[in-house]
Amino acid sequence: MKLRELASLIHGEIIGDESIEITGASGIREAKEGDITFLSARKFLKDLAGSGASCVIVSEPLPDIPVAQVKVPNPQLAYAKLLEHFYVKRHGPAGVSADAYISGTAQIAEGVSVYPFCYISAGVSLGKGTVVYPHVFIGEDSAIGEDCILHPNVTVRERIRIGDRVIIHSGAVIGSDGFGYVFDQGVHHKIPQVGGVIVADDVEIGANVSIDRATTGNTMIGSGTKIDNLVQIAHNVKIGKNSLIISQVGIAGSSEIGDYVTLAGQVGVADHTHIESETIFGAQSGAMGHVAKGIYSGSPGMPHREWLKARAVFAKLPELQKKVRELEAKIKELEKEEP
Amino acid sequence: MKLRELASLIHGEIIGDESIEITGASGIREAKEGDITFLSARKFLKDLAGSGASCVIVSEPLPDIPVAQVKVPNPQLAYAKLLEHFYVKRHGPAGVSADAYISGTAQIAEGVSVYPFCYISAGVSLGKGTVVYPHVFIGEDSAIGEDCILHPNVTVRERIRIGDRVIIHSGAVIGSDGFGYVFDQGVHHKIPQVGGVIVADDVEIGANVSIDRATTGNTMIGSGTKIDNLVQIAHNVKIGKNSLIISQVGIAGSSEIGDYVTLAGQVGVADHTHIESETIFGAQSGAMGHVAKGIYSGSPGMPHREWLKARAVFAKLPELQKKVRELEAKIKELEKEEP
Amino acid sequence: MKLRELASLIHGEIIGDESIEITGASGIREAKEGDITFLSARKFLKDLAGSGASCVIVSEPLPDIPVAQVKVPNPQLAYAKLLEHFYVKRHGPAGVSADAYISGTAQIAEGVSVYPFCYISAGVSLGKGTVVYPHVFIGEDSAIGEDCILHPNVTVRERIRIGDRVIIHSGAVIGSDGFGYVFDQGVHHKIPQVGGVIVADDVEIGANVSIDRATTGNTMIGSGTKIDNLVQIAHNVKIGKNSLIISQVGIAGSSEIGDYVTLAGQVGVADHTHIESETIFGAQSGAMGHVAKGIYSGSPGMPHREWLKARAVFAKLPELQKKVRELEAKIKELEKEEP
């Protein structure tokens, strides 16, 4: 494909030879001749020199580089489109396999694919264009929207509602029982978990994620929120829109998390925590109580800048202790010298 | 259902109109007209004002509230019974599906349900009333007790023993190989993991949990212990009775954990740790060595109250450092002034 | 089996009665009469007194013990061989089940076992002697080497390359989409994840592990590396040879980890981290930036010895603070006394 055609696909302005042939798209370090790549930040400029790319997508033209450039407002977004263009093959709908189990009361819209060994329970509905890969289980009366992808070995329990364009990766479990017990006479009695889970549109759920159903009411994941692998979301949690929940985060029961929140890897959120919108928690930090909008680190979390300073002193605590001992000795000396 | 009938179900004493109609049970914040709810602690009293509930279960009657009350010794326990009463439908046994694979040498008791696409290996036994949902694998010679529930996509490997009334959630793996290697000539040689796992009665195992089989002997989970989602239990671990292992806890090899222990979310337990009964570890803390009964926080864990104090000073380390520098300067000044 | 035969199997030298009968192998604490056990370190000598073992494998003969000994250079390695000898039964190949789905374009080598309810996609190849247990999904054009074991409920997505003698435990997901989005106009747009995963020879992957496919290029796991349960490996990560990644470790995108690295339980590795070969990170620690060969603890990680010292002072911070306050008071006193 000629560069001029590609550039028009991403509405970009060409700087250089528009007639060159582009045969693929790739990250800056892996790109080879014929590839188009992108520059997301100036810190990656050093990688460009060693890159084999024939063309680079930029937001600001670079003065002295030997390869063609395409200028767009958001290079990474343009790159994402080109990855899709070059590499993502859409299969037509595969239909409903005779080797799947489909309840007679399930409602399957047109253009749905259900692969062998899926189990679709009574009262389930699958929206138009949704793809259900092998070994997926969908429990009674659950509703899956349109154009969803359920990867192999996903479990969606009963009475779960999933919106449109939701992607669920392999091993994820939606609607397992919340961890609720009442202690009486020396044993833990199970509290029936009879609520559900509502997953809004455009959510992506990573591999081996667990999202528990509510005790009563619903656990809720807001539209556009993206959840990475191995995340735990407990019963009655509510997450807002367009938040990012990175791998191995654990969110305990009844916590509420706003819109555009980022929880970095391995963050722990205590139960009944409330995190305001646009808040960021750094990796391995802990959240509890009411958390005002801000950036936090440490466990329990504290404002990131304060944590940085405290952490810097922590690393030098032995010196500080030594210093205090020296001062102590000097003061003793001074006290002795007193008349 | 009339309140008087419900109250008799939970052996409670009615304060108010016993003839009102109760149509459901719900948490205090989600309850609507016709619902019965419960008050577990006085801190939730503020939620009662805004609740739509028509009746509240209490342990001490409240003086000035406009809705009916039912007094019982343990309101949450009564509430759990009512959730069961209103919402948990028992299906009759589904029988053994012709679309499951059942070895000819498997022993299936009466009233067992085995759903399509299950794989029941040679020598397996399934006790009376046990339900095995789709896509469950049970390995050779494993024995599952009575009235167990194995949710979809559970894996139980070979020679595992599971007691009665055990619930295993989707994606859980019982009996994967322990992580054991011996280093020789520059490579890690696998140590065969030939032991098993014993899960006692009334245990619940969360979604995507991994419990490794022992190298030799057995990994053991004591009766009544409840394990939340995404927990790791390594080979030869022994957990006592009625302990609570919250989500994303990791317990390394050969550790022993007593009865009534609580490990909060994301706790890490080093190998060969011994934790005495009735011990609590706070979220994200770490346990190692021999741990006497107590409450611990931090990593490595220290007594919770001491940790609280140390953590409070940590947050103010920059101030402490500044103070020490000031004192240093003052002492220099004092030393200069010495004759 | 006579001890003399066993000893010849592990090329060991007998100290004691070579005619005794050995009927099993077991850990030092579980061993009973007739068992052979091993002593890996002198700290386990105390366990030997209470052990029922009839024979112990040692690297240095013990002077005064009542049971037979077998001397070898690496007792644990010899023990691993004996576990294999006594307990690991090799089944013959089970063949390809008629109840599995096998694409017409899949290439199945001789001696392969494919169990019921497996889904083998178009273009897949399975090498000689590989065993694929029930409910395994293998996506289009993925290649699995020889003598691999894929335990039940494993998911291998499309275009993944797996070497020889690789073991993948239940619930593991190889090749899920990396967590990549570009933010534009208030929403997160998915970046297609079109790369793959390459798993080299002799790798073992634990239960419920997630290894994401690369955005472009490949996520790579080097030969002989062993990965414990519930580990997260993000897109474009590269791990070297013979490394040990313990349970619940999370490695963020594009990080590079050398050979013979050990990451202990629950370690977090930030994105674009580079960890040199032979480095060790302690449990629950955090790695970021360029990490030179060494031993690290804490989050963020610092040299282990320094961390130990700092952590010791941390535990006594309240005392240190009190001391500083006392010094402050004394200095005030001294200043007053100044003329």
pLDDT in tens, C275-316: 999 999 999 999 999 999 999 999 999 999 999 999 999 999
For residue B102, how many other CB atoms are within 10 A of its CB? 19
Task: Name the residue in chain B with its Cα closest to that of A218.
Answer: B30
Nearest to B310 among C171, C315, C338 (CB): C315
Element (H, E) at C52: none
Are residues B24 and B86 in contact, defined by beta-carbon separation less than 8 angstroms? yes
Contact C88 B194 (CB under 8 A): yes
Q: Which of C48, C54, C60 is nearest to C12 (CA)?
A: C60
Average pLDDT on B156-174 reads: 98
pLDDT of amino acid A1: 87
pLDDT of amino acid C18: 92
Q: Which of C308, C246, C233, A269 is nearest to B268 (CA)?
A: C246
Quote the CA–CA distance of C175 and C161 in Å, as a whole number.
10
Q: Chain C contact for A103, CB < 8 A?
A: no
Average pLDDT on B81-104 reads: 92
Element (H, E) at B331: helix B317-337
What are residue A19's phi and psi, to 5 degrees?
-95, -5
Residue with tokens 């979604």: B207
Q: Which of C12, C64, C63, C17 is nearest to C38 (CA)?
A: C12
Catalytically active residues of B are 235
Joined tokens for residue A273: 């925590």
Q: Which of C279, C330, C326, C278 is nearest to C301 (CA)?
A: C279
A-chain residues near B133 (CB < 8 A)? 137
Task: Name the residue in chain B with its Cα closest to that of A329.
Answer: B331
Contact B314 C311 (CB under 8 A): no
Are residues C148 and C166 in contact, defined by beta-carbon separation less than 8 angstroms? yes
In angstroms, what is the C-alpha Rg of chain C? 27
Average pLDDT on B56-79 reads: 94
pTM above 0.90, yes or no: yes
Residue B229 has pLDDT above 70, yes or no: yes
What are residue C333's phi and psi, to 5 degrees?
-60, -45
pLDDT in tens, B21-31: 999 999 988 89
pLDDT of amino acid A92: 80
What are residue A292's phi and psi, to 5 degrees?
-70, 155
B69 Cβ partners below 8 Å, 6+ apart?
A: B14, B15, B16, B55, B56, B57, B58, B61, B62
Nearest to A337 among B79, B284, B338 (CB): B338
Nearest to B77 among A117, A189, A306 (CB): A189
In angstroms, what is the C-alpha Rg of chain B? 27
Q: What is the mean pLDDT of chain C?
A: 95
Residue B101 has pLDDT above 70, yes or no: yes
Sign of CA dihedral C313, C314, C315, C319: positive
Interface of A with B in 254-273 (CB under 8 A): 266, 268, 270
Task: Name the residue in chain B with its Cα closest to that of A304.
Answer: B315
Q: What is the mean pLDDT of chain A?
A: 95
Q: Chain B contact for A324, CB < 8 A?
A: yes
- Exposure string of B267-291, with b = 16+ CB inside 10 Å and e = fewer, is bbbbbebbbbeebbbbbbbbbbeeb
Task: Name the residue in chain B with its Cα closest to that of C231.
Answer: B232
Quote the CA–CA distance of B23 and B215 in Å, as a whole number.
53
Residue with tokens 């579980």: C30
Contact A320 B318 (CB under 8 A): no
Contact B80 A323 (CB under 8 A): no
Joined tokens for residue B203: 């245990």
Percent of chain B with pLDDT over 90: 89
Catalytic residue of the set C235, C272, C274, C290: C235
Q: Nearest CA of chain B to the CA of A6: how many Å?
A: 43
Q: Nearest CA of chain A to the CA of C313: how many Å?
A: 6
Quote the CA–CA distance of C319 and B112 in Å, as a whole number.
63
Partners of A181 in beta bridges: A190
Q: A181-184 and A187-190: which strand pairing?
A: antiparallel
